[in-house]
Structure 1
């Protein structure tokens, strides 16, 4: 399967899942602690939207091999940070 198609299909699956999760957490007042840091959250939302838009624009311009390499690096860094996190 083409990496770009796989990424799009992955987004189609994960986006509704995230929306449902956010709705459930909102109803349970689980986000009340985040309201204290609302300015930071606004910057995070803006960065997410900007990153998604930039990624969508670069999709046709960047070679598939480079996208796969960058995705691998992101996943590797995420895995390392996850396993190093002690809570």
Structure 2
């Protein structure tokens, strides 16, 4: 949105959250009715840890957005967008797990 429409970085971030939140709520409501959340029920401690970490990160990010200039935030966010796929993408060929019968 910053490049396409020329709006500020902070406004684009806020608009992204406004658009994402209803989508996440609907997805959560639809998937929670099936068996999709069985692993989440088994790993509830991890889910709570991730939730608390996300809330803390959102708070810190909100505080930084009010004090750090866009000239600093834009390169940092660009670096995160470049590094994240590299860290997530599988490196090398992994052997396929055998099915247990």
Category of TM-score, reference length = shorter chain: 0.7 to 0.9
Partner residue, 2:56: 50
RMSD between superposed Cα atoms in Å: 1.8
Unaligned runs of 5+ in 2: 1-6, 97-101
TM-score normalized with structure 2 length: 0.76
Shift of 1:83: 3.5
Higher Rg of the two aligned structures? 2
Matched, 1:5 2:11: yes
Which is helix-richer, 1 or 2? 1
Unaligned runs of 5+ in 1: none
Q: What does the per-residue CA deviation read over 1:25-49, in whole Å, with 9 as the maximum and x for residues that have no partner?
A: 1012201112111111101000001
Q: Could you say what secondary structure the match of 1:65 adopts?
A: helix
CA distance in 1: counterparts of 2:53 and 2:31, whole angstroms:
22
Number of residue pairs the alignment of both structures matches: 87
User: Which of 59, 62, 65 is matched with 1:59 structurally?
Assistant: 65
